[in-house]
């Protein structure tokens, strides 16, 4: 492969030499110095392309690399050696790339998760999870921070839409019978993803520390308190105290920005890997 590349570049400048010889009669000195510059450039080009740094970046499989002949074997190499191409299989079934089959709902759920991560990081710069500052930080964000209101609303809407997208994705999978063998394991991973999505949504709901959030969490944790046998302990773990307050806010904040995102990313990776291992997207009914 390296040969193809090297030849391509040296041929180009060799031609340049040829033409400069032709006009050497009239302007000897000029064409000589041009030829010398050409030779130096060619040498430098060879040196750079032969360097370890260049070969490490533009190695076979790189999108920038040329010289691959278009053969089934080389196409496989390109896919296998490039992390971005590797996200997709070498061959895809025709129905799997049709938007009308999957409605891209899984991809949409993933996109919304990425959007939530980016907007969430922005919000973290302006929000402190304490009972005294949470609500006022949100007010400051809405009124005094550039794009604060926009980003907060993007985060809120993306959260609602992600719950909807994940649910519709599950319905699509069910409708196509894609939960059946060999995809039953991925269905279970999916159920875990749905649970984590709902948990992320619910823990985020408390963070503005407004009346709506406060009473939603009070009602939610009271319901959990009626769990047989362990009810009291479950409620205590969820509140981090005997009643809703600072400890609850800190606990749910850590779950919302750290633990649940971390766990959901791991399960998403397993989910995508399983799609590939189960032979790609299921076939049409
Ligand atoms: C965070 C949530 C989720 C994300 C980001 C996600 C992402 C994806 C993606 C990108 C695909 C490829 C095909 C497509 O877009 O439909 C897929 C397929 C699949 N997902 Fe999900 N998913 C999620 C939740 C779920 C849930 C809740 C279930 C079911 C309970 C599920 C079960 C499946 C199954 C069985 C497949 C294979 C479908 C087939 O072969 O036709 N996923 N998922």
DSSP secondary structure string for all residues of 115-139:
HHHHHHHHHHTT---STTTHHHHHH
Q: Classify 275 as helix, strand or coil.
A: helix
- Residues 108/118, Cβ–Cβ less than 8 Å: no
Q: What is the DSSP letter of 282?
A: P
Ligand 1 atom closest to the Cα of residue 110 is 5
Residue 139 confidence (pLDDT): 97
Residue 243 phi, psi (nearest 5)? -135, 165
- Cα–Cα distance for residue pair 166/207, rounded to 1 Å: 23
pLDDT of residue 10: 38
Domain ranges across the chain: 2-86, 94-277
pTM above 0.75, yes or no: yes
Residues constituting the chain: 285
Cα 207 to its chain centre, rounded Å, is 25
Tell me, what's the pLDDT at 4? 37
Tokens 């006009």 belong to: 23
**pLDDT of amino acid 70:** 77
Ligand 1 centroid, distance to 271 Cα (angstroms)? 7
pLDDT at 97: 87
Q: Which positions of the chain have pLDDT values less than 70?
A: 1-27, 59-68
CATH class of 94-277: mainly alpha
Pocket residues for ligand 1 (CB within 6 Å)? 102, 104-107, 109-110, 166, 169-170, 173, 176, 178-179, 183, 186-187, 190-191, 193-194, 197, 268, 271, 275, 281-282
Report CA(189)–ligand 1 centroid distance (Å).
9
Give SS3 for 69: coil
Residue nearest ligand 1's atom 35 by CA: 187
3-class SS at 9? helix
* Integer CA distances (angstroms), 224 to 5, 86, 203, in order: 66, 44, 15
Best probe residue, ligand 1, of 103, 117, 190 (max atoms within 8 Å of C-beta): 190
Residues 6+ apart with CB under 8 A from 250: 129, 130, 240
- Ligand 1 binding pocket mutation candidate from 275, 279, 280 (most atoms within 8 A of CB): 275
- CB-based contact 110:103 (threshold 8 Å): no
Note the pLDDT of residue 9: 38
């Amino acid at each position: 492969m390296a040969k193809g590349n090297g030849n391509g570049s040296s041929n180009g400048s060799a031609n340049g030499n040829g033409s400069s010889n032709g006009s050497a009669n009239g302007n000897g000195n000029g064409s000589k110095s041009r030829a010398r510059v050409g030779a130096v450039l060619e040498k430098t080009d060879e040196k750079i392309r032969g360097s370890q740094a260049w070969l490490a970046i533009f190695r076979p499989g790189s999108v920038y690399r040329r010289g691959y002949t278009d053969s089934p074997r080389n196409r496989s190499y390109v896919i296998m050696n490039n992390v971005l191409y590797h996200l997709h299989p070498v061959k895809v079934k025709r129905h799997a790339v049709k938007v009308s089959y999957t409605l891209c709902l899984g991809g949409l759920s993933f996109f919304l998760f990425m959007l939530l991560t980016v907007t969430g990081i922005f919000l973290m710069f302006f929000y402190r999870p304490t009972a005294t500052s949470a609500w006022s930080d949100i007010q400051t964000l809405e009124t005094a921070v550039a794009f604060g209101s926009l980003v907060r609303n993007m985060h809120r809407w993306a959260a609602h839409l992600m719950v909807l997208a994940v649910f519709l994705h599950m319905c699509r999978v069910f409708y196509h019978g894609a939960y059946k063998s060999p995809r039953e394991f991925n269905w279970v991973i999916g159920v875990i993803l749905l649970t984590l999505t709902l948990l992320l949504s619910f823990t985020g709901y408390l963070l503005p520390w407004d009346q709506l959030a406060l009473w939603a969490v009070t009602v939610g944790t009271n319901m959990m308190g009626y769990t047989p046998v362990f009810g009291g302990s479950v409620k205590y773990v969820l509140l981090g105290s005997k009643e809703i307050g600072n400890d609850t806010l800190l606990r749910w904040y850590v779950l919302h920005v750290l633990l649940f995102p971390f766990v959901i990313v791991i399960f998403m990776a397993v989910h995508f890997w399983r799609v590939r291992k189960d032979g790609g997207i299921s076939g049409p009914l």
